[in-house]
Amino acid sequence: MFTIVSFLFVPFKNRVLSLLFFNNGAVLFSLASNSNVLFSFFYFYSSLSKKLKKFKIKSLFLMLFQLKKLTFVSCVELLPGLGGQYVRSPGTKARIIKHDKSNHTVLIELPSKIKKIFSFYSFAMQDAITLKMHKKTLNGKFGYWRSFGVKPSVRGVAMNAVDHPNGGRTKSLKYSKTPWGKTTKFK
């Protein structure tokens, strides 16, 4: 069992992480979803879950067979134990379409409208990942990415011959060269 203590914004990746404090003293950062609330109390699925359900306590990650049909999920594993591989971008969510109990599989509709089959025992996070307004951010200002530590890059062809082996041409029709001036083609 754990409690969400604080949230941390990672600017360059546009992610919000939640700081989790466990009852045994462990500390962990995890992706935050839209349903996370500060100082909310969560539990991992165990034998105690039936007793705790009457208190309306919810889990952060659930197995796909525990979730109802047509619920939204994010950070979904393809196979158990591999970690979240699908629906990890800010604001994205997938929907559970069908449970197949005979094959132990779940059909999920991804944000791209592609339907994919996942394992019955894979973990997923309920609801969408935070920052759904991530797509609306404007980065048209010159030097926008400089504030995140990203420097502008200049093509070698656009440089002078003194500055780069590929530079000094009016048109880039010649073959590219290594830093020592040898051609990289036809080895």
Q: What is the CATH number of the domain that holds 112?
A: 2.30.30.30
Do residue 170 and residue 108 come from a single domain? no
**Count: domains in the chain:** 2
Place of tokens 């040898």: 182
**Alpha-carbon span 87 to 77, nearest angstrom:** 9
Do residue 154 and residue 126 come from a single domain? no
In a domain, 158, yes or no: yes
Residue 144 host element (H or E): none
Do residue 152 and residue 123 come from a single domain? no
In a domain, 93, yes or no: yes
The pair of three-digit structure tokens given for residue 145, joined into one six-digit string: 């990415």
Q: Which of 146, 149, 148, 166 is nearest to 157 (CA)?
A: 166
pLDDT at position 42 is 56
Do residue 113 and residue 149 come from a single domain? no
Do residue 86 and residue 116 come from a single domain? yes
Do residue 100 and residue 19 come from a single domain? yes
**Alpha-carbon span 154 to 163, nearest angstrom:** 11
Read off the pTM.
0.57
- Kindly compute the dihedral angle of the four CA atoms of residues 44, 98, 76, 14, in this order, to the nearest 10 degrees: -110
pLDDT at position 143 is 81
The pLDDT tens digits for 129-169 are 777 776 667 777 788 878 778 888 888 888 888 888 878 87
Do residue 87 and residue 169 come from a single domain? no
User: pLDDT in tens for each of the 187 residues of the chain?
Assistant: 778 888 888 776 777 888 888 888 888 887 787 777 665 555 544 444 444 444 344 456 778 888 889 989 988 988 888 888 898 888 888 999 999 999 999 999 999 999 999 998 998 888 887 777 766 677 777 888 787 788 888 888 888 888 888 788 766 567 777 878 788 877 6
Range of the domain at 7: 2-133
The pair of three-digit structure tokens given for residue 130, joined into one six-digit string: 């935070």
Do residue 79 and residue 14 come from a single domain? yes
In a domain, 10, yes or no: yes
pLDDT at position 39 is 58
The pair of three-digit structure tokens given for residue 46, joined into one six-digit string: 């165990």
